[in-house]
């Protein structure tokens, strides 16, 4: 086939990006935008009023509102940057018109966020230096949040402008590492000590392996389909703008739905984690502790803490002049290096937490001046237990069971996400899906392979992406929708011997390789600048 005939065939099968559906999406977009902002504002006011906290300054409210808008902006950019990958296949196979596809994908993203577990959200947060998390309400805490958000948004917008499907997950994790490194260096320590590298490596492996999984599995799936499904129409590019047969169309819409839902479930949690950091830092009385925990759980949790503390002290009695417990545990979590003071320090922290919650009887009764300290002790104890488990410290079985039970109770008190946060993140991600998607869609649909995407190729790439992201969400690992789907499309092109556009793949590879170092450097510089204000 000559170059002219190829281009004319591509033009005949090219989607119409200027359809009538776009007229209805704009009013819907603004209605949802106003509704989301109003919903967030009403819930914030309601939560603060329930605490009966006297308002002495409006500065925290201003900082809170600004940080929330920036965090929701990150999710909005994430929506049109990453979710465009989910709709590319249904658009280029004419299974859905562009307008319907992006609205449907936005709705599925919305549902994915609402029904997410929250595990990924706190997995991302645990990459941050523990001392910064404990200082969320300080100037360093605000500098951390603003540096993370601005660096992620800047890189995402830059790659979107160039039409390059880079990973928002990759960008955010690089930003977190940059903040950790900069914080350690500003305090005279080695930059390597500022990050939980065990957690970072676990997340890094997930991000690095996901493109390989996408490429290989999508290619193999297409090969298997060719062996068992002998329908030639399935493997041919669309020759016109007419939709495919019903069964093929249904399969492609189903996989688009699954990828969009999985993307919302996984990527939406990253914004939730950042918003919870902001809420804890600006309004600890309302959001530092889960005020909805039933008071009848308190005596049981306090008794469990006391029993576990006693068991730890029997294993390792405290020294005559023990160092401060928080200092010991912060050092242990930061370095993952076990020493004889760790178990006594954890025991004392658990005992103090138990005494505190027993004294007040419920989370709601803990006074404002004690909330932040209680929350920090709970968070630090939970992280210390997690690091004891990962360090494979040998403990009696009963002690290990009690520590696991204590961690569950501590996490339920500190690692929670109010429903209104899920709703506004879902709206931001869904709205982002509805705008700005065209650049990335064109890259995925036209510039990865040398031929037009066939029905089977679209279904294979989407199905593998849906399953990979869903599995990662179950394990609490962030993966990149962009990496999985783009590499899946490339894998189907290779398996189909359609040819790959090496210039596009080179640009994608450069963007993917640069994402981590650029976001690390950018967030480190921003953190250094913000920390001076």
At 188, give phi and psi (nearest 5°). Answer: 80, 15
Question: Residue 196: is its pLDDT beyond 70?
Answer: no
pTM over 0.85: no
Question: Residue 127: is its pLDDT beyond 70?
Answer: yes
95, 249 contact by CB (below 8 A): yes
Average pLDDT, integer, range 90-119: 84
Query: Collapsing DSSP states into helix, strand and coil, what is residue 449?
Result: strand
162, 153 contact by CB (below 8 A): no
The predicted-structure confidence for 22-68, as pLDDT tens digits, reads as follows: 566 678 788 888 888 899 889 888 888 887 766 667 777 787 888 88
End-to-end CA distance of the chain: 62
CA dist., res. 130 & res. 132, Å (int):
5
The mean predicted confidence, pLDDT, of the chain is: 81
At 129, give phi and psi (nearest 5°). Answer: -60, 135
At 165, give phi and psi (nearest 5°). Answer: -75, 85
26, 102 contact by CB (below 8 A): no
Show the tokens assigned to 481: 């929708």
CA dist., res. 364 & res. 297, Å (int):
13
CA dist., res. 33 & res. 45, Å (int):
19
pLDDT band at 506 (very low <50, low <70, confident <90, very high): confident
pLDDT band at 223 (very low <50, low <70, confident <90, very high): very high
Question: Residue 2: is its pLDDT beyond 70?
Answer: no
Question: Residue 278: is its pLDDT beyond 50?
Answer: yes
Where helices occur in 126-245 by DSSP H, the ranges are 130-134, 139-161, 168-186, 197-228
pLDDT band at 18 (very low <50, low <70, confident <90, very high): low
48-62, 101-115, 285-299: range with lowest mean pLDDT = 48-62
């Amino acid at each position: 086939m000559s170059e002219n005939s190829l281009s004319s065939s591509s033009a005949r099968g090219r989607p119409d990006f200027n359809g009538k559906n776009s007229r209805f999406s704009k009013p819907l977009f603004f209605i949802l935008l106003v509704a989301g902002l109003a919903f967030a504002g009403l819930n914030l006011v309601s939560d603060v009023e329930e605490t009966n906290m006297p308002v002495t300054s409006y500065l925290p409210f201003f900082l809170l509102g600004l940080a929330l808008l920036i965090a929701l902006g990150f999710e909005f950019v994430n929506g049109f940057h990453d979710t465009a990958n989910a709709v590319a296949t249904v658009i280029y196979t004419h299974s859905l018109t562009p307008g319907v596809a992006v609205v449907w994908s936005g709705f599925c993203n919305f549902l994915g966020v609402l029904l997410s577990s929250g595990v990924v959200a706190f997995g991302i947060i645990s990459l941050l230096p523990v001392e910064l998390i404990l200082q969320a309400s300080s100037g360093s805490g605000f500098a951390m949040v603003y540096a993370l958000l601005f660096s992620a948004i800047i890189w995402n917008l830059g790659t979107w402008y160039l039409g390059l499907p880079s990973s928002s997950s990759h960008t955010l994790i690089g930003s977190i590492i940059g903040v950790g490194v900069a914080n350690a260096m500003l305090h005279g320590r080695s930059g390597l000590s500022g990050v939980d590298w065990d957690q970072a490596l676990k997340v890094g492996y997930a991000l690095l392996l996901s493109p390989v999984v996408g490429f290989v599995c999508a290619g193999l799936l297409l090969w298997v389909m060719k062996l068992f499904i002998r329908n030639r129409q399935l493997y041919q590019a669309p020759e016109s703008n007419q939709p495919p047969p019903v069964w093929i169309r249904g399969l492609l819409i189903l996989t688009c739905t699954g990828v969009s839902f999985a993307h919302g479930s996984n990527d939406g949690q990253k914004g939730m984690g950042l918003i919870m950091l902001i809420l804890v830092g600006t309004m600890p009385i309302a959001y530092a502790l889960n005020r909805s925990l039933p008071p009848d759980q308190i005596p049981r949790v306090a008794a469990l803490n006391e029993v576990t503390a006693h068991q730890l002290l029997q294993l390792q009695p405290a020294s005559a002049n023990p160092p401060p417990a928080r200092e010991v545990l912060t050092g242990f979590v930061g370095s993952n290096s076990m020493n004889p003071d760790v178990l006594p320090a954890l025991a004392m922290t658990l005992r103090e937490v138990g005494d505190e919650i027993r004294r007040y009887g419920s989370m709601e009764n803990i006074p404002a001046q004690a909330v932040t300290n209680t929350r920090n002790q709970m968070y630090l104890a939970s992280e210390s237990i997690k690091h004891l488990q990962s360090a494979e410290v040998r403990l009696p079985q009963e002690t290990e069971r009690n520590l696991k039970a204590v961690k569950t109770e501590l996490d339920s008190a500190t690692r929670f996400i109010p429903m209104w946060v899920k709703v506004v993140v879902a709206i931001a991600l869904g709205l982002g899906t509805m705008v700005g998607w065209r650049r990335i869609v064109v890259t995925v649909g036209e510039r990865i392979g040398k031929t037009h995407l066939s029905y089977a190729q679209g279904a294979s790439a989407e199905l593998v992406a849906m399953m990979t992201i869903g599995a990662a969400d179950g394990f609490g690992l962030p993966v990149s929708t962009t990496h999985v789907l783009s590499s899946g499309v490339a894998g189907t092109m290779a398996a189909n011997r359609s040819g790959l556009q090496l210039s596009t793949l080179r640009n994608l590879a450069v963007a993917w390789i640069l994402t981590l170092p650029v976001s690390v450097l950018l967030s480190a510089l921003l953190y250094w600048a913000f920390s001076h204000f």
